[in-house]
Amino acid sequence: MVAEEIRLAAKSPSAAGVSRRELLLTTAITLIFSATSAWALDVKGSLPWPPNAGTPPTPVQPGPWVYFTAEEATAIEALVDRLIPPDPQTPGGKDAGCAVFIDRQLAGAYGKAEGLYMRGPFVDGTPQQGDQSPLTPAARYRQGLAALDKYCRATYAGKSFAELADNDKDKLLSGLEKGDVGLEGANARGFFELLLQNTQEGFFADPVYGGNRNMLAWKMIGYPGARYDYRDWVERHNEHYPLPPVSIGGRPDWVRKAG
Amino acid sequence: MARKLPATDVVIVGLGWTGAILAHELTASGLNVVAIERGPWRDTASDFPPAYAQDELRYHIRHDLFLRPAQVTMTFRNNVSQTALPIRSWGSFMPPNGVGGGGVHWNAETWRFQPSDFQLKTHLTQRYGEKFLPADMTIQDWGVSYDELEPCYDKFEYLCGTSGKAGNLKGQIQAGGNPFEGFRSREYPTPPQKQPYGPTLFAQAATEMGYKPFPQPSGNLSQAYTNPLGVTLGPCTYCGFCEWFGCGNYSKASPQTTILPVLVRRPNFEARTQCEVLKINLDKSGKRATGVTYIDSSGNEWEQPADLVLLCAFQLFNVHLLLLSGIGKPYDPGSGAGVIGRNYSYQVTSSVDAYFDDKIFNPFIASGAIGMCIDEFNGDNFDHGPHGFVGGGYLGAVQTNGRPLQSTRVPKGTPRWGLEWKQAVAKNYLRSYQAVTHGSCYSYRDAYCDLDPTYTDRFGRKLMRITFDFHENELKMSQYITDRLAEVVQKMGPRHFEKKPRAGHYDITVYQTTHTCGGAIMGTDPKSSALNRYLQSWDVPNLFVMGATAFPQNAGYNPTDTVGALAYWGADAIVNQYLKSPGPLVQA
Amino acid sequence: MTMRTLMSLAVAACTISAISARSAEDGQAYEKIERGRYLAVVGDCISCHTAPGGKPFAGGAALETPFGTLLGPNITPDVATGIGSWTEEDFWRTLHEGIGKNGKRLYPAMPYPAYTKVTREDASAIWAYLSTLEPVRNEVRANQLEFPFNLRRPATSTWDLINFRPSMFRPDPTKSETWNRGAYLVEGLGHCGTCHTPKNITGGDRDREALQGALLQDWYAPDVTPDLRTGIGSWSAEDIVRYLKTGANSFDIASGPMAEVVANSTSHMTDADLSAIATYLKDNAPRNATAVAALSAQDRRMVAGKAIYEDRCAPCHDASGMGIPSLFPRLANAPLVQSADPTSLIRVVLIGNRAGATAAAPTAPAMPPFGWNLSDQEIADVLTYVRNAWGNAALPVQAADVTKLRDRLQRNAGGGG
């Protein structure tokens, strides 16, 4: 019934401006949309804005592993601590929270390959064509860690990766990186690259995601973090920037000192 | 089965820069305009506030503001002998999504093309002879001249508030600006941004070598600015989160910060977001568009009839929709016939990484478009005769960011992990500098787009297939200008530097730039172009196609200023010519 | 075509169609109707008598009062659901005495304590205009106040005994004509005190504190007396006119309920009337708030607040607190920031805010919410800093106040009001 009214009103010549009929018309359209579509948004008149608008990140909470099993977590902690080892100045990947970061990432949208094109057929191509695996990142970890464990126990007298000496760990990682070591039932190089990428993400990403604890990686390189105003510093050349880093969550100075 | 909606005067597909400009110009002339946008509404305070806009993982690594390949992607191959495979995760380029389009997450480098770029074929043939050009190169003239576009460039820059220094005011060369640029009718709307240490050193070195460095024109503003529409932008705070990110403090020119506040107030404008256009509908003759069919996020299909259809999506999707809608003859690389998909091109970028012991660059004090550049090696600003290639690019120290996942670089030979890597990162983060080249990419007979025979999107539509590789001309060009860049960098006094010219096959997995071009190009002949000089479809005169889709080949500059200028050029043609006498504006 | 707001277009469309339908007999009648239309804009009738997305003047807007929610009635000339059966005399009594047709006393949400000062001539013009509107059949549900306020008659007549005397506007012969016009607009049809004057326990105006600022709907309508610190004392008459005309000046941008007032009313007023308002406001008695000393920069609240401000607020409002005209409100020496009541400040930090827009100042910038990120203590401290930095001085904000407002806003959002 609105449809008839709409059709009559719609084709008015509009050069003279908008008639009241057209206002009625747009109201009718809005109704059609609001009745049938939960998400599509019809914007006119003013910029949309609801209170509390936004999608801030949900901070990763400490606590039990969400995706990894206890055994997988032990291996991941050992792996990230060799990819980014501790040194006297800065903790390594494990204490930086890289394993927690990867665990939470795999449990979420990233681990599920949400948003990626996952339709077949899955055919290997040239390196320039990019990864064509049907596996999600979460599945690649499960597969890769199982295969790595099997390899370690077979090669190093029943020991898991975490139980190896640092030298052996590094040798094994180099082998994976170079393609010298193959893993049965997994793409060894692909797994290594994924692990290295995610470990560095955990090290340098905002602490809100579980890694880079206390912004230690940012402090290590002199990056001031989630700051948003350097106007006073653009033309101060060849000087160390003096202010401490800040994360999305804030920094210790936001909390008033006792006393 | 699509339900039919009341007709409107104009339907716009995509509400990015060009959609917003066209909507603004056409509503101002009294037309009723409906814009249909695949992605969500995006707003500064709601979607990228300065409380979490600066999240490298979310926006850069996880692509939060971009289209999801699951929605639609393309397939890719380097050449016709290969089987194209789908781009499963974005790499080489980042297709935008949502209101504001690429204008939300660009770096805001706001360059004009040169006068000779618009008559490229004629110009190069006259200077070097036809034989100088590679046989399979398919460059063309645009059908529009720089002089015609100059007022449109001006209009777009004054919309944006672009910060810069003119190098050529009405033919008079200006000290401190780019002496190679085409004439400007007036100075930039705002003065250049401040320059950090790296660009300052680069400019000193370049000056000593006899070059004429100038500040890069920037859409991140040096000061607050109120544009002719009455919309106010703030001053850039050099936060270093531009490309990949939305600007949290209204200081980067985008549809959000320049047009949308005014546009939404117009009673004859309406935007429908989260609605994906499936195809452009044609009448029985195939010569007239009757509107579009789209699907909303609940899966309902709608037909939106309109008298005029404006294709304003990102370059790749404009071409895809033309192919899916059966508009224009698809290009066939074998015969060279057909126009849709023809002359797909890209951009050729490279860098020189330098490592210093005694200099602190603070790379995080950045803006997507600060930097000092030289233009001696762009376009045809130098004699190509001795070099055996055509094209070029600008060279510069462009300090876009110091984000640690993207910009911690280590010298060649450093392991990629372990203690040595960690210590090298810590040592070099503040003390390394990357200078860049930004080069042209000309078009070739075997670089094109068509529909993929195998892969489909979630609605069962065929994906678009990109067939593309770099050609020898471009690789030679990149080598040459990277060598020139290295000479300047060397003069800055690094302990060590590494040249990284573009080399090898085009790789879809490595981010280079989102400057994809062509596929439905403008020109003077319907046999070799999809659009006439007013961006009007030769085949369907009530269809206009905006954006870099129309570039016959790509120049050595960032495309957005030209995309904006072409949008004003097209809008002017619609308002002042087409509406008075709807029909072809150029007789074929 | 030129840019106009939807609302003003709708108003214009109604006027034109109605006039042509009823065919104004002569120029005089037309002039009167046009004057009535303008006065209805000055009185901002449309805001309370139009539901969101509804037809102009057909009623249904929800008005929150401390005593419950009221709905603005239909004032189109529809006989069954509007004021089609009213006489001009009925209308005059409504405006002047707060007594509707059939002797019903109105809730003072209808600002008759201010409208009582409207001249008979102006009331007549408004009536003439309303009579030309297209009748809209729209039954507005009865008022829904909780006991005892739902007993309209006795409760409101008692209220009137305490708080209301019908009166006329009396020009002050010692003042200029402009001043008197301003006084008439501010105290009468413009009904500024309805929001900006503090209320007594029954909701009546505390006349001695006229325009000194008051709380409503979790917004603080600020002091608009010429007090230098908390009022508009540092604004020039031009600043005031610019604010009312465009919604923005070099100090501030209208937001919240005031943005609506600007969009629907003041931005359509003549420059002469806006100047008159400015003249009157500037010459009004200042609030003379008790002096407050700024907190020391070393105060631990200030130290923490400064850290938060520089990390999160400075990218827009600037480390100097100077803001950007028409985009980011200035905080340094800003009256609203130093208000006795920090409710509006807490509110916008908690849940964010969108500024209003007019054709002259269309930017409509939005402030993002920070309630997800900052604790109540952190919000209190950053606001304490903002209220005591750059020469500002105001009482510190308490975390408990933030907690209370956070809870209330959450309840309102959850319960739908």
What's residue C168's pLDDT?
A: 87
Interchain contact, B54 vs A227, CB within 8 Å: yes
For residue A36, what are its two tokens?
A: 């049938």
Chain C residue numbers with beta carbons less than 8 Å from the beta carbon of B267 are: 4, 6, 9
What's residue C412's pLDDT?
A: 81
As a whole number of angstroms, the distance between CA B17 and CA B19 comes to 6
As a whole number of angstroms, the distance between CA B474 and CA B480 comes to 10
Interchain contact, C413 vs A51, CB within 8 Å: yes
What's residue C157's pLDDT?
A: 67
Q: How many CB atoms lie within 10 A of CB C28?
A: 9
For residue B556, what are its two tokens?
A: 């050595």
Q: What is the tens place of the pLDDT at every residue in C333-390? A: 999 999 999 999 999 999 999 999 999 999 999 999 999 999 999 999 999 999 999 9
- Please name the residues between 271 and 330 in chain B that touch chain A, using a CB distance below 8 Å: 271-275, 296-298, 300
What's residue A6's pLDDT?
A: 30
Which residue of chain A has the CA closest to C351? Answer: A52
Q: Is B496 a catalytic residue?
A: no
Chain B residue numbers with beta carbons less than 8 Å from the beta carbon of C367 are: 45
As a whole number of angstroms, the distance between CA B250 and CA B407 comes to 25
What's residue C7's pLDDT?
A: 34
How far is C268 from chain B, CA to nearest CA, in Å? 16
pLDDT band at A213 (very low <50, low <70, confident <90, very high): very high
Torsion sign over Cα B157, B158, B163, B169: positive
Q: Does C158 touch chain B (CB under 8 A)?
A: no
How far is B10 from chain A, CA to nearest CA, in Å? 11
Best residue in B48, B54, B265, B266 for a mutation probing chain C (most C CBs within 10 Å): B265
Of residues A47, A52, A251, nearest to C369 (C-beta): A52
pLDDT exceeds 90 at position C416: no
Best residue in C9, C320, C327 for a mutation probing chain B (most B CBs within 10 Å): C327
What's residue C287's pLDDT?
A: 78
Q: Does C251 touch chain B (CB under 8 A)?
A: no
Interchain contact, C368 vs B230, CB within 8 Å: no
What's residue A194's pLDDT?
A: 98
For residue C275, what are its two tokens?
A: 């100047």
Buried b (16+ CB within 10 A) or exposed e, A44-76: bbbbbbebbbbebbeebeeeeeebbeeebbbbb
pLDDT exceeds 90 at position C304: yes
What's residue A26's pLDDT?
A: 35
B519: left (phi over 0), alpha (psi -120 to 50) or beta: left
pLDDT band at C18 (very low <50, low <70, confident <90, very high): very low
What's residue A27's pLDDT?
A: 33
Chain B residue numbers with beta carbons less than 8 Å from the beta carbon of A55 are: 47
pLDDT band at C152 (very low <50, low <70, confident <90, very high): low
- C205-215: average pLDDT: 88
pLDDT exceeds 70 at position A3: no
pLDDT band at A29 (very low <50, low <70, confident <90, very high): very low
Of residues A7, A220, A239, nearest to B6 (C-beta): A7
What's residue C155's pLDDT?
A: 57
Of residues B57, B200, B418, nearest to A209 (C-beta): B57
- Beta-sheet pairing, B496-500 with B276-282: unpaired
Best residue in B362, B454, B508 for a mutation probing chain A (most A CBs within 10 Å): B362
What's residue C145's pLDDT?
A: 52
Interchain contact, A53 vs C369, CB within 8 Å: yes
Question: How long a stretch of residues is chain B?
Answer: 588
Touching partners of A (3+ C-beta pairs < 8 Å):
B, C
Q: Decide if B120 contacts B380 (C-beta within 8 A).
A: no
**Catalytic pick from B24, B105, B320, B515?**
B515
Interchain contact, C319 vs A52, CB within 8 Å: no
As a whole number of angstroms, the distance between CA B282 and CA B280 comes to 7
CA neighbor of B566 nearest in space, from B221, B280, B310, B184: B310
Interchain contact, C368 vs B232, CB within 8 Å: no
Q: Does A232 touch chain C (CB under 8 A)?
A: yes
Give the phi and the psi of residue B466 in degrees, each rounded to 5: -105, 125
What's residue C43's pLDDT?
A: 96
Give the phi and the psi of residue B290 in degrees, each rounded to 5: -105, -5
DSSP, collapsed to helix, strand or coil, labels residue C298 as: coil
Torsion sign over Cα C35, C41, C45, C51: positive
For residue C47, what are its two tokens?
A: 């805001």
What's residue B290's pLDDT?
A: 98
- C394-412: average pLDDT: 95
To the nearest whole number, what is the mean pLDDT of chain A?
87
Ranges of chain B with pLDDT below 50: none
Q: What is the tens place of the pLDDT at every residue in B327-348? A: 999 999 999 999 999 999 999 9
Q: Give the position of tokens 């695996």.
A: A133
Q: Does A54 touch chain C (CB under 8 A)?
A: yes
Of residues A38, A89, A248, nearest to B298 (C-beta): A38
Q: What is the tens place of the pLDDT at every residue in A122-171? A: 999 999 999 999 999 999 999 999 999 999 999 999 999 999 999 999 99
Q: Is C403 exposed, middle or buried (0-12, 13-18, 19+ CB in 10 A)?
A: middle
Best residue in C15, C311, C351 for a mutation probing chain A (most A CBs within 10 Å): C311
As a whole number of angstroms, the distance between CA B156 and CA B571 comes to 12
As a whole number of angstroms, the distance between CA B494 and CA B326 comes to 56
For residue B184, what are its two tokens?
A: 């400007």
As a whole number of angstroms, the distance between CA B322 and CA B317 comes to 8
pLDDT exceeds 70 at position A250: yes
Of residues C10, C303, C364, nearest to A23 (C-beta): C10
Q: pTM of this prediction?
A: 0.93
Which H helix or E strand runs over B214?
strand B214-215
Give the CA distances from residue C86 to residues B233, C56, C80, C142, C166, in Å, rounded to whole numbers and listed in that order.
51, 19, 11, 18, 21
Cβ neighbours of residue B76 under 8 Å, at least 6 residues apart?
Answer: A128, A129, A130, B84, B85, B86, B87, B465, B466, B467, B468, B508
Q: Which residue has the higher pLDDT, C156 or C68?
A: C68
Chain C residue numbers with beta carbons less than 8 Å from the beta carbon of A49 are: 352, 354, 366
What's residue C98's pLDDT?
A: 87
CA neighbor of B493 nearest in space, from B297, B354, B366: B354
Q: Does C320 touch chain B (CB under 8 A)?
A: no
Interchain contact, C14 vs A53, CB within 8 Å: no
As a whole number of angstroms, the distance between CA A249 and CA A246 comes to 8
Q: Does C354 touch chain B (CB under 8 A)?
A: yes
Q: Does C368 touch chain B (CB under 8 A)?
A: yes
Of residues B234, B265, B266, nearest to C357 (C-beta): B265
Touching partners of C (3+ C-beta pairs < 8 Å):
A, B
Q: Is the peptide bond before A121 cis (omega within 30 degrees of 0)?
A: yes
Give the CA distances from residue C417 to residues C107, C214, C215, C344, in Å, rounded to whole numbers and listed in that order.
20, 21, 17, 18
pLDDT exceeds 70 at position C25: no
Q: Does B237 touch chain C (CB under 8 A)?
A: yes
Torsion sign over Cα C63, C65, C67, C68: positive
Give the CA distances from residue B258 to residues B20, B566, C365, in Å, rounded to whole numbers and listed in that order.
10, 17, 12
Please report, to the nearest 10 degrees, the dihedral formed by the alpha carbons of residues A186, A192, A193, A198 taken in order: 110
What's residue B155's pLDDT?
A: 98
Q: Decide if B204 contacts B397 (C-beta within 8 A).
A: no
How far is C229 from chain A, CA to nearest CA, in Å? 27
pLDDT band at C16 (very low <50, low <70, confident <90, very high): very low
Which residue of chain A has the CA closest to C372? Answer: A56
A238: left (phi over 0), alpha (psi -120 to 50) or beta: left
Interchain contact, B272 vs A42, CB within 8 Å: yes
pLDDT exceeds 50 at position A34: no
Percent of chain B topping pLDDT 70: 100
Touching partners of B (3+ C-beta pairs < 8 Å):
A, C
How far is B340 from chain A, CA to nearest CA, in Å? 23
What's residue C156's pLDDT?
A: 63
How far is A69 from chain B, CA to nearest CA, in Å? 25
pLDDT band at A37 (very low <50, low <70, confident <90, very high): very low
What's residue C53's pLDDT?
A: 82
ipTM of this complex: 0.96
DSSP, collapsed to helix, strand or coil, labels residue B158 as: helix
CA neighbor of B350 nearest in space, from B288, B439, B450, B420: B439
Which residue of chain C has the CA closest to A227? Answer: C311
In this complex, how many residue pairs, one in chain A and one in chain C, have their CB atoms less than 8 Å apart? Answer: 88
Torsion sign over Cα A62, A65, A71, A75: negative
CA geometry: angle C215, C218, C224, nearest 5 deg: 35
CA neighbor of A173 nearest in space, from A79, A99, A75, A92: A79
What's residue A209's pLDDT?
A: 98
Which residue of chain B has the CA closest to A54? Answer: B46
What's residue C141's pLDDT?
A: 72
How far is C169 from chain A, CA to nearest CA, in Å? 38
